[in-house]
Structure 1
Amino acid sequence: MTALKEFQRLEAAGVWRATPADQRKDVIVSLGDASLTILDLRENVLAHWSIAAVARANKGQRPAIYHPDGDPGETLELDDNGVEMIDAIEQLRTAIDRTRPKPGKLRLWITGALGAAVIAGIVFWLPDALLRHTVQVVPAVKRAEIGDALLSRITRISGQACMTRDAREPLRRLSSRVLGPGQRGALVVLPAGVRTTAHLPGGRILLNKALVEDPEEPDVTAGYILTERLRALTQDPLEEMLIETGLWSSLRLLTTGELRDTDLERYSEYLLSKEPMPLSDDVVLAAFETAELRSTPYAYAVDITGETTLPLIEADPMTGRDPRPVLSDADWLRLQGICGE
């Protein structure tokens, strides 16, 4: 990474767009520490891109258009006023391409890329620093790809995800109602495997079919979905995965953008066996209030006596109020048949 030193603190003006549907914004682009930082004109951070995962859409043309590898919808344009930045990015991309590991030569790659720094730092600061940096720079499209790979392995154990034609839209409406309109495809119902709920990198939430088939009202299912999302927000799902799979998993993901099949298998098995992370009652109640959901049905589903979930019953934020329905009766009945006979 010595090639980075001459470009540290390099800045340029550019134009950034998060998605094709968003407006283009004038931004400041800062290069350093193997990543591009994109800030608005008030110096609020809008995005971090790893140089190793930056692709160019129009080689040799101006303005130069860059995007995260695999996500051409998010773009950064640099015109002739940013020639120095463009040259720096191209030099670094070329240098990184030359040092990418070749299949079957992991030992040679470690020696050439990190050398003595890995040997000296591995005992002291490298694991935690590498983990934090990897979690920060991995783009959303790669997180979703990792989540899909994990789901593929989980369904080998649990069976294929449940879905019927009649239940497809009710499931999407439930996801939108609890998690927000941008999360319509976040829910996956499994016939077995997961105890109650689990979450994956990329935003997917897994539900055991019993949480859909057994409750008399959708508020129970909504409560389980909401609390699982809180767990995903409490600790980054990708961070949790990399902690479980170890240092080399973080290093491989950062430098190659890939994970070993053995790491994916190991973590998918861990997800299906781990105990759910406990959440404080105050955090749970605040989330139910924001989502306009009753906490009492969920509390009794967790503990039929209500003894261990009494705070969620007594402080139900919707008591005396008329919350929005989770689903219509017709949608709930269709959703309860999602796994068929």
Structure 2
Amino acid sequence: MTALHEYQRLEAAGLWRAAPDAQRSDVVVSVGDATLTISDARDQPLTHWSLAALERANPGQRPAIYFPNGDPGETLELGVDEVAMIDAIEKLRRAVGRGRPHPGRLRLVTFLMSIAAVIALVVFWLPGALRHHAVSVVPEVKRAQIGEALRTKMERVTGAACATPEGTGALERLAQRLPTPQGPGRFDVMRNGVDGAISLPGGTILIGRALVEDHEEPDVLAGYIVAEHLRAGLDDPLAQLLDHGSTLDAIRLLTTGDLPDNAVSRYAEHLLTSPRPTLTDEALLNGFKSWSVRARPYAYAFDLTGETKLGLIEADPFSTTPPPPLLSDADWLRLQGICGG
């Protein structure tokens, strides 16, 4: 302890008592190597006190009274005139105190770290875990209800879905030809507001009328449907809805089976105004191969020159051998007229 060196020759007179019922004796006090030595008048050591275990009975008062830790009955009294020794002992006690472990401080640090861990758990892990659990337990019937609620909100912008008996039948046959992994879904052609196609929870895909009215063959429409099937497989539409909302939305869905109306409205607006997530050419080509759909018509619908979609065009799995028909020519014409021309 570096603080010892300047006090190792310091001595002072004091009164020492070995026990509460013993007489006080005149002693000489000196600072040794990490100890306080108490000697009699003949310079014979009576006891040694560890500086690390030295306690003061009357902090801030004079004369100063000290005792070894754990034995308050043995005391050493230093008079008011022994200022140098008292100051030295106090300085050494502070130096020793700084080097001691502080259980209270350690407990505080441990407590704060525990609180921080709990907060981190709540902020970073719990929301994702709740959403994952909600997605895994919500039944298909409830998913379809949520999808229908979203569609109802979106119809404020899109208008009601186009419908004719002939066109609706053609859509149903297309759904049979391009099913989801869970089975045929539901396709609805919307009058306005839908650019391309949008997947909803429950297997419904909303289709912009341009996909059926502006192209000569159903392959472009089929390409958009395949892309939505792929997106739904990569990121569940219900999970996307919950990710866009709050943790409370997931809790409410788990506890009541319903979502707040404002959460549904916000997500409906998001679906109509935000671009769809991009897919890699590799993922699209695998999808076109799985659902037996040509890639070239879809690629040229994005880029008439084909320059930005060369990967899809050159690797089209059906560039030489045509896949099974998507729809008959008659059904395609019926579908093209589903919105009344």
Residue 307 of structure 2 is matched in structure 1 by 307
Distance of 2:340 and 2:200 partners within structure 1: 25
Is 1:241 equivalent to 2:258 in the alignment?
no
Residue 262 of structure 1 is matched in structure 2 by 262
Distance of 1:183 and 1:302 partners within structure 2: 28
Is 1:204 equivalent to 2:204 in the alignment?
yes
Is the 1:244–1:267 contact (alpha carbons within 8 Å) kept by the matching residues of 2?
yes
Amino acid in structure 2 at the alignment position of 1:255 = T
Distance of 2:123 and 2:289 partners within structure 1: 45
Residue 213 of structure 2 is matched in structure 1 by 213
For the residue of structure 2 that corresponds to 1:324, the secondary structure is coil
Deviation of 1:321 (Å): 1.1
Deviation of 1:225 (Å): 0.8
Distance of 2:297 and 2:120 partners within structure 1: 54
Deviation of 1:209 (Å): 0.4
Is the 1:158–1:192 contact (alpha carbons within 8 Å) kept by the matching residues of 2?
yes
> 1:15-43: CA deviations, max 9, x gaps?
xxxxxxxxxxxxxxxxxxxxxxxxxxxxx
Is the 2:140–2:202 contact (alpha carbons within 8 Å) kept by the matching residues of 1?
yes
Amino acid in structure 1 at the alignment position of 2:256 = T
Judging changes above 3 Å, is the alpha-carbon distance between structure 1 residues 254 and 182 closer, same or farther for their aligned structure 2 residues? closer
Judging changes above 3 Å, is the alpha-carbon distance between structure 1 residues 123 and 292 closer, same or farther for their aligned structure 2 residues? closer
For the residue of structure 1 that corresponds to 2:198, the secondary structure is strand
Amino acid in structure 2 at the alignment position of 1:242 = L
Is the 2:245–2:263 contact (alpha carbons within 8 Å) kept by the matching residues of 1?
yes
Residue 272 of structure 1 is matched in structure 2 by 272
Is 1:153 equivalent to 2:156 in the alignment?
no
For the residue of structure 1 that corresponds to 2:178, the secondary structure is helix
Is 1:330 equivalent to 2:333 in the alignment?
no
Deviation of 1:296 (Å): 0.5
Amino acid in structure 1 at the alignment position of 2:162 = C
TM-score by length of 2: 0.63
Judging changes above 3 Å, is the alpha-carbon distance between structure 1 residues 124 and 144 closer, same or farther for their aligned structure 2 residues? same
Is 1:288 equivalent to 2:288 in the alignment?
yes
Judging changes above 3 Å, is the alpha-carbon distance between structure 1 residues 132 and 181 closer, same or farther for their aligned structure 2 residues? closer
Identity of aligned residues (%): 52
> 1:232-270: CA deviations, max 9, x gaps?
111011111001011110010011111111111111000
Long gaps (5+) in structure 1: 1-117
Judging changes above 3 Å, is the alpha-carbon distance between structure 1 residues 167 and 263 closer, same or farther for their aligned structure 2 residues? same
For the residue of structure 2 that corresponds to 1:327, the secondary structure is coil
> 1:282-312: CA deviations, max 9, x gaps?
1111111111111001110111110111111
Deviation of 1:194 (Å): 1.5
Deviation of 1:121 (Å): 4.8
Residue 144 of structure 1 is matched in structure 2 by 144
Distance of 2:182 and 2:336 partners within structure 1: 23
Deviation of 1:140 (Å): 1.1
Long gaps (5+) in structure 2: 1-117
Is the 1:176–1:182 contact (alpha carbons within 8 Å) kept by the matching residues of 2?
no
Deviation of 1:322 (Å): 2.9
Judging changes above 3 Å, is the alpha-carbon distance between structure 1 residues 303 and 157 closer, same or farther for their aligned structure 2 residues? same
Distance of 2:183 and 2:278 partners within structure 1: 24
Deviation of 1:123 (Å): 2.8
Amino acid in structure 2 at the alignment position of 1:131 = R
Judging changes above 3 Å, is the alpha-carbon distance between structure 1 residues 224 and 184 closer, same or farther for their aligned structure 2 residues? same
Alignment size in residue pairs: 225
Amino acid in structure 1 at the alignment position of 2:214 = D
Residue 189 of structure 1 is matched in structure 2 by 189
- Highest CA radius of gyration, 1 or 2? 2
Judging changes above 3 Å, is the alpha-carbon distance between structure 1 residues 169 and 189 closer, same or farther for their aligned structure 2 residues? same
Residue 129 of structure 1 is matched in structure 2 by 129
For the residue of structure 2 that corresponds to 1:229, the secondary structure is helix
Distance of 2:198 and 2:215 partners within structure 1: 18
For structure 1, which segment, 123-132 or 223-232, has the greater mean C-alpha deviation from structure 2 after superposition? 123-132
Is the 2:185–2:203 contact (alpha carbons within 8 Å) kept by the matching residues of 1?
no
Structure 1 residue runs of 4 or more that deviate by more than 6 Å after TM superposition = none
Judging changes above 3 Å, is the alpha-carbon distance between structure 1 residues 254 and 283 closer, same or farther for their aligned structure 2 residues? same
Distance of 1:165 and 1:185 partners within structure 2: 18
Residue 251 of structure 2 is matched in structure 1 by 251
For the residue of structure 1 that corresponds to 2:189, the secondary structure is strand
> 1:86-121: CA deviations, max 9, x gaps?
xxxxxxxxxxxxxxxxxxxxxxxxxxxxxxxx9885
Distance of 2:258 and 2:315 partners within structure 1: 46
Distance of 1:160 and 1:170 partners within structure 2: 18
Is the 1:179–1:226 contact (alpha carbons within 8 Å) kept by the matching residues of 2?
no
Residue 104 of structure 2 is matched in structure 1 by none
Residue 321 of structure 2 is matched in structure 1 by 321
TM-score by length of 1: 0.63
Distance of 1:297 and 1:315 partners within structure 2: 13
